[in-house]
Amino acid sequence: MRVHAQRAGALFGGLAVPAVSLADWTMNMRPGVTSTSNEIFSLHMTILWICVAIGVVVFGVMFWSIFAHRKSQGHKPANFHENTVVEILWTIIPFVILVAMAIPATATLVKMYDTSESELDIRVTGYQWKWQYQYVDQDFGYFSTLATPRDQIANRQRKGEHYLLEVDNPLVIPVGRKVRLLLTANDVIHSWWVPEFGVKKDAIPGFINEAWVRVEEPGVYRGQCTELCGKDHGFMPVVVRAVPEPEFQTWLAEQKAAAEKERELTQKDWTLEELMARGEKTYQTTCAACHQPDGRGVPPAFPALRGSPIATGDLAAHMDIVVHGKSGTAMQAFGSQLSEVDLAAVITYERNAWGNSTGDMVTPKQILDFKNQQ
């Protein structure tokens, strides 16, 4: 028995060490770059230490019994089994501790819920499996998708520094201003999280949730979707670039100009080659997650497009399914997600790639007409 006791002691001792060194930065939560996240961090540390203290007392008594009151040491059992005063005492003391913890927690929560007086509103929409950021009142928006190459995921290439935490177009916000996020989703429930901001909020179809953030330091901050949203749930990161005000204004002007230019493109006369080139890009960022880069799909959930009746048959039916989606399936209505140019390009691409040689070409104007017919 003594051997067991020593072994137990060594083990429990070993267990206690990581609990204490939790404060070490590699194992612990990091303090963030917003006042909210710093308040959360201090709440977290307070409660952690309270738990450690309670643990030391309770386990201390327990281990003392384990070592001192062993039968093998000839300890005779006492026979007490009730004490109302003690029971009441150890009901009330934890209660008081809890009240003491609830007060700062309530204060922080009230602040987190105060989304009033925002200086910039951004609408965040979750899609399977990407984020859309729309700058409300600024008349432009864009999608943000994973930028890590498939080869790195499949271990054919060395993984980069920000493996799975990098996107093509990060969300850009100004430093020092209160930004309000309006979160919703297009298909299933997603959740938008950036640990350094202390902001995590679910994006739910049919609901608009509010959250706010005021970043104090410029930098790039990374997070992930935190609500299981299907196949590529682990592959839709959130990346936010916080920049100083003047830089933000320049960026804003550029984006607005680019959006304007995009609208003009709709009127331009396109050639098949131009549409194919643009369509391939759009296809790879928007469609390939389900229908696969080679158009073979993952039947039956995600049908193949290579040689499919829709991609090689009636053009109107093809436009209809891309623009309006197919209800009851994962096929979304892309009419509101993509520009007319991208819609035209991707349909053209699907009708001419992987041996689907219909030779059809769809122009942005046709898409516009198709949408207006409805």
Partner 1 sequence: MYLVFSFTMFLLGGSMAMVIRAELFQPGLQIVQPEFFNQMTTMHGLIMVFGAVMPAFVGLANWMIPLMIGAPDMALPRMNNWSFWLLPCAFLILVSTLFMEGGAPNFGWTFYAPLSTTYGPPSTTFFIFAIHIMGISSIMGAINVIATILNLRAPGMTLMKMPLFVWTWLITAFLLIAVMPVLAGVVTMMLMDINFGTSFFDASGGGDPVLFQHVFWFFGHPEVYIMILPAFGAISHIIPAFSRKPLFGYASMVYAVGAIALLSFIVWAHHMFTVGVPLAGQLFFMYATMLIAVPTGVKVFNWVATMFRGSLSFEAPMLFAVAFVILFTIGGFSGLMLAIAPSDFQYHDTYFVVAHFHYVLVPGAIFGIFAAAYFWLPKWTGHMYDEALAKTHFWLSFIGMNLAFFPMHFLGLAGMPRRIPDYALQFADFNMISSIGAFMFGATQLLFLLIVVRCVRGGEPAPAKPWEGAEGLEWTVPSPAPYHTFSTPPEVK
Handedness of CA 179, 129, 138, 208 (dihedral sign): negative
Site for partner 1 in 205-264 (CB under 8 A): 205-207, 209-210, 223-235
- Torsion (CA) 228, 230, 234, 239 in degrees, nearest 10: -80
Shortest reach from residue 25's CB to partner 1, in Å: 9
The owner of tokens 């006042």 is 35
Which residue lies nearer to partner 1 by CB, 44 or 263? Answer: 44
Find the binding residues for partner 1 in span 355-374 (CB under 8 A).
Answer: none
Residue 116 found at the interface with partner 1 (CB under 8 A): no
Among positions 9, 95, 336, 369, the unique one binding partner 1 when judged by CB under 8 A: 95
| Residue 328 found at the interface with partner 1 (CB under 8 A) | yes
**173 to 202, contacts with partner 1 by CB under 8 A?**
187-189, 191, 193, 195, 198-202
Taking the least distance from each CB to partner 1, the nearer of 35 and 339 is: 35
Is residue 357 a contact partner of residue 272, using CB atoms and an 8 Å limit? no
| DSSP 8-class letter at 77 | P
Considering the rule CB under 8 A, would residue 301 count as an interface residue with partner 1? yes
- Single out the residue of 122, 124, 165, 347 in contact with partner 1 (rule: CB under 8 A): 165
120: three-class secondary structure by DSSP = strand
Place of tokens 């935490």: 165
Binding partner 1 (rule: CB under 8 A), the pick from 71, 103, 137, 273 is 71
Under rule CB under 8 A, residue 78 binds partner 1: yes
What amino acid is encoded at 92 in this protein? Answer: I
Structure tokens at 173: 């916000």
Rule CB under 8 A: say whether 61 interacts with partner 1.
yes
Amino acid at 21: S
Nearest distance, CB of residue 149 and partner 1, angstroms: 12
Q: Is 39 in the site for partner 1 (CB under 8 A)?
A: yes
Beta bridge partners of 183: 124, 209
Between the two ends of the chain, the Cα-to-Cα distance in Å is: 83
Q: How far is the CB of 116 from partner 1 (least distance, A)?
A: 13
The beta strands (E) that lie in 178-311 are given as 179-185, 190-194, 199-203, 209-213, 219-225, 237-243
Torsion of CA 201, 202, 207, 211, to 10 degrees: 10
Residue 20 in contact with partner 1, rule: CB under 8 A: no
With H, G, I as helix, E, B as strand and everything else as coil, classify residue 132: strand
Tell the smallest beta-carbon distance from residue 221 to partner 1 (Å).
Answer: 11
User: Can residue 117 be called a binding residue for partner 1 (CB under 8 A)?
Assistant: no
CB of 299 to partner 1, least distance (A): 9
Q: Which of 58/316 has CB closer to partner 1?
A: 58
Per CB under 8 A, 2 contacts partner 1: no
